[in-house]
């Protein structure tokens, strides 16, 4: 192998276009350049190795995680769900009541979502994504993505729903009471098949 490999402008542009077609982020490109990753890719190109695609299946029928002192009021089961990061990036639902600077009370939004034909994702999907943050679409940053398929009850009797958010340089979860207002930054995660 020659150590004098040089990319001309045309080859660099081809790489740039290929990265765009494959939806690479700058972080993805950085990871590609670390360690022996490119050597492994070359082994695939030469036919000395193969790529095995990992399918991320979420069991939406399992019992959800229940934080201490909480109980599950409602858990909509949804079978095994294969997560596709690219398909899910736009799978966020906003009510007309959340458009612009408006907000809708959580109890009303819950009712509206139960009448929709597109199923909402439950807390099992939220917890799977927390455990596998590389699967979360970049487009979800700056939002509080709610998983309305699981509604919890506090010891005091109030209802609430958990959400996924980006904060402090990482993905985490929090919750909001159904008595509160949900605005345009609070979409519901819906299932895209």
72: containing domain: 56-189
Measured CA to CA, the distance from residue 176 to residue 39 in angstroms comes to 47
Question: Residue 193: what pLDDT?
Answer: 66
Average model confidence (pLDDT) for the chain? Answer: 91
How do residues 56-113 score in pLDDT, each as one tens digit?
899 999 999 999 999 999 999 989 988 987 778 778 999 999 988 899 999 999 999 9
Shared-domain flag, residues 85 and 122: yes
Six-digit token string for 96: 């007309």
Query: Per the domain annotation, does 179 fall within a domain?
Result: yes
Question: Residue 131: what pLDDT?
Answer: 96
Shared-domain flag, residues 22 and 60: no
Residue 1, pLDDT > 70, answer no
Shared-domain flag, residues 85 and 179: yes
Query: Per the domain annotation, does 50 fall within a domain?
Result: no
Shared-domain flag, residues 79 and 34: no
Measured CA to CA, the distance from residue 107 to residue 187 in angstroms comes to 15
Measured CA to CA, the distance from residue 22 to residue 80 in angstroms comes to 27
Question: Residue 104: what pLDDT?
Answer: 96
Shared-domain flag, residues 73 and 18: no
Question: Residue 97: what pLDDT?
Answer: 93
**Into how many domains does the chain fold?**
2
The model carries a pTM of 0.77
Quote the Cα angle for 26-30-33, to 5°: 140
Shared-domain flag, residues 72 and 40: no
Buried b (16+ CB within 10 A) or exposed e, 117-141: eebbbbbbbbbbbbeeeeebbeebe
Residue 2, pLDDT > 80, answer no
Query: Per the domain annotation, does 51 fall within a domain?
Result: no
Shared-domain flag, residues 124 and 172: yes
Q: Are 75 and 54 in contact (CB under 8 A)?
A: no
Query: Per the domain annotation, does 3 fall within a domain?
Result: no
Shared-domain flag, residues 150 and 87: yes
């Amino acid at each position: 192998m020659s150590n004098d490999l040089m990319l001309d402008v045309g080859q660099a542009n081809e790489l740039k276009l290929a990265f765009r077609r494959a939806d690479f982020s700058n972080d993805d490109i950085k990871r590609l350049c670390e360690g022996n990753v490119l050597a492994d890719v070359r082994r695939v190109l030469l036919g000395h190795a193969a790529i095995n695609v990992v399918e991320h299946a979420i069991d939406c029928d399992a019992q959800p995680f229940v934080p201490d002192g909480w109980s599950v009021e409602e858990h909509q089961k949804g079978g095994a769900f294969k997560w596709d990061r690219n398909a899910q990036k736009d799978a966020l639902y906003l009510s007309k009541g959340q458009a612009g600077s408006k907000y809708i009370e959580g109890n009303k939004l819950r009712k509206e979502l139960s009448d929709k034909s597109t199923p909402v994702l439950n807390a099992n999907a939220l917890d799977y994504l927390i455990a596998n943050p590389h699967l979360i679409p970049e487009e979800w940053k700056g939002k509080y993505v709610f998983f309305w398929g699981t509604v919890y009850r506090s010891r005091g009797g109030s209802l609430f729903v958990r959400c996924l958010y980006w904060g402090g340089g990482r993905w985490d979860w929090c919750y909001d009471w159904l008595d509160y207002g949900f605005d345009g930054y609070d979409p519901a995660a819906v299932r895209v098949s």
